[in-house]
């Protein structure tokens, strides 16, 4: 029997890509999708190329929770905590593509995202979903925080070098590149086509929100309680 998956925020870039991935997953079927901006409309109304892939109608969050075994939240940070509580209370699994459960420390979450932990016990149940490092911890869990882009590529690149003693743990610079879709669908000057076409620029150098996990995860993978000196230098194109 296939796992019934639901996607909240299916019309954003991350949500739409997740629809494509789950559609091709041999052990999952999409039970429901939702969108606040496009509720009542078909996904193909937003993405015409999806007309032959998935032409489901966007419903509301409650419908997704009711129809699904596992709910994916593709929402901006700050919007997933209440939904997670609803899913866990209903006995469903919850995977957050946003940042609400990525940091273990509420102090760090407040520093980097300006929010607070609404339910500390709920956060205590969550596990960080980078399987290359934490596969055993993820198994059987109901509340999983999906890693972001830089918090995937940077630790996975650094950890083998640290484990084999190939680099110093001081002065590490992660020079990362990403596409502008990582900024989401909401247009800004920095993501505007005329500003980016044929262009390339650095942003949030040493102040990107993924920095806290980048600093610690390569060492957690080696079961070493260290905190290395890392500076992120992300760039967008």
Give the catalytic positions in this structure.
Answer: 149
Q: Which two tokens stand for residue 31?
A: 């039970």
Strands (E), 80-237: 93-96, 127-128, 143-145, 172-174, 177-178, 201-202, 230-232, 235-236
3-class DSSP assignment, residue 127: strand
**Measured distance CA(92)–CA(145) in Å, rounded:** 15
3-class DSSP assignment, residue 145: strand
DSSP H/E element including 34: strand 28-34
Q: Which two tokens stand for residue 203?
A: 């942003």
Strands (E), 35-102: 58-59, 70-73, 93-96
Instruction: For residue 99, give the nearest of 91, 90, 108, 89 by alpha carbon.
Output: 108
Close Cβ partners of 192 (under 8 Å, ≥ 6 residues apart): none
Q: Contact at 8 Å (CB) between 170 and 199?
A: no
3-class DSSP assignment, residue 131: helix
């Amino acid at each position: 029997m296939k796992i019934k998956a639901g996607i909240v925020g299916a019309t954003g870039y991350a949500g739409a890509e997740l629809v494509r991935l789950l559609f091709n997953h041999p052990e999952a079927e999409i039970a429901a999708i939702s969108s606040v901006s496009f509720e009542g409309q078909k996904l193909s109304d937003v993405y015409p190329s999806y007309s032959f892939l998935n032409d489901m109608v966007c419903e509301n969050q409650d419908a997704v929770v009711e129809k699904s075994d596992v709910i994916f939240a593709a929402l901006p940070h700050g919007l997933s905590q209440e939904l997670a509580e609803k899913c866990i209370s209903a006995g469903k699994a919850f995977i957050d593509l946003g940042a609400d459960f990525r940091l273990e420390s509420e102090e760090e979450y407040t520093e980097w995202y300006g929010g607070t932990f609404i339910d500390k016990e709920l956060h205590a149940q969550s596990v960080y979903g980078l399987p290359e490092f934490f596969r055993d911890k993820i198994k059987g869990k109901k509340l999983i925080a999906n890693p972001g882009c830089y918090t995937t590529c940077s630790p996975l690149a650094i950890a083998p070098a640290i484990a084999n003693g190939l680099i110093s743990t001081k002065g590490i610079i992660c020079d990362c590149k990403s596409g502008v879709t990582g900024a989401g669908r909401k247009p800004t000057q920095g993501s505007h086509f005329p500003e980016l076409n044929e262009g390339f620029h650095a942003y949030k150098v040493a102040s990107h929100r993924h920095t806290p996990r980048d600093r610690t995860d390569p060492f957690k993978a080696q079961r070493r309680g260290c905190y290395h000196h890392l500076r992120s230098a992300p760039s967008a194109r």
